[in-house]
Amino acid sequence: MSRVAVLDFETTGLSPNLGDRATEIAVVILDGGRVVDRFASLMNAGVKIPGFITELTGITDAMVKAAPPAPAVMADAARFVGATPIVAHNASFDRRFWTAELQRAGIPTSNRFACTMLIARRLYPEAPNHKLGTLIDLHQLPRPGVAHRALADAEMAASLWDRILVDLRHQHGVPDPDHALLMRLQACARAAVPAFLARQVGGWG
């Protein structure tokens, strides 16, 4: 199985295009089904945190004021991740902030993103919804730390990613699922998933 960097951000809102900024980042390196390294930091982007975000995450203005500047944190995170493919839950959200914060820091990025939420929609249509916490509970996976903090959410997304790989091997007979294959799976229409998986088993997908 390929090495991946499982990423999560906490932010002041939903979109960097609307002026929202990252307040915390965490990255968990998963290799062969094991967490082999971690990076996590609050970051000071020089913006005020809305009250509802503090209620959700517990991250306060005082906490980020004492944190390192956002460009320095992102430079460290970029070095930590390197060229490793990235995984995130609702990856379009995290990809937007990864790209925007790195651009602000003057750092280029070309990492490929796979999304555990989109993949789970293909593989687990029986789930009541495809929120990270719901999928963690569905599969009886551990809940480390506090939800809506970056490291805890990255750890849970890493557990979900590993469970997805296990299910692809043992329930669907896919011998060697990797990041590239799962990127293709997440792009499939749901009705096309059985045929897609059959091709992987047949060795020509």
The residue segments making up the domain with residue 55 are: 4-202
Confidence of residue 203 (pLDDT cuts 50, 70, 90): low
CATH of the domain at 122: 3.30.420.10
pTM for the full predicted model:
0.95
**Residue 159 near residue 142 (C-beta atoms within 8 A):** yes
Quote the CA–CA distance of 7 and 81 in Å, as a whole number: 9
pLDDT tens, residue by residue, 128-170 = 999 999 999 999 999 987 778 999 999 999 999 999 999 999 9
The number of distinct structural domains making up the chain is 1
